[in-house]
Amino acid sequence: MAGLASSIYNALFRRNTVMLGTVFASAFAMQLGFDTGSEKIWNSINQGRQWKDIKHKFMEQAEDDEE
């Protein structure tokens, strides 16, 4: 455990530039993860209510009309 902690410290936090990079990269990853996850929950709660769930009907219809 101590070995892991010290290796993380040495790899990511020892140099300020590396730590800055770590902060930016982890912020980006966290935001990506949070947005993806919350979007997934929201879409599952509102299954079938949003336009993206029903638009296929009308898109197909439009293509049929053109043929």
Partner 1 sequence: MTMLARSALRTVRPLGAAARNAASRTATRSASTSSSTAEGTASSWKTNALPAGATLFAIGSVAWYYQMFGRNVDAMTPAEEGLHPTKYPWEHAKWYKTFDHASLRRGFQVYREVCASCHSLSRVPYRAAVGNFMTVDEAKALAEENEYDTEPNNEGEIEKRPGKLSDYLPSPYKNDEAARAANNGALPPDLSLMVKARHGGCDYIFSLLTGYPEEPPAGAVVQEGLNFNPYFPGTGIAMARVLYDDLVEYDDGTKATTSQMAKDVTEFLNWAAEPEMDDRKKMGWKVLAISSVLFALSVWVKRYKWAPIKSRKLVYTPPVQSKILTKLPQPPNKS
Angle at 22 between CA 26 and CA 5, to 5 degrees: 100
Minimum CB separation of residue 67 from partner 1 in Å reads 14
Number of residues that bind partner 1 (CB under 8 A): 17
Distance CA 47, CA 8 (A): 42
Per-residue contact track with partner 1, 2 to 41, x per CB under 8 A? --------------------------------xx--x---
* Closest of 17, 40, 21 to residue 29, by C-alpha: 21
Minimum CB separation of residue 35 from partner 1 in Å reads 8
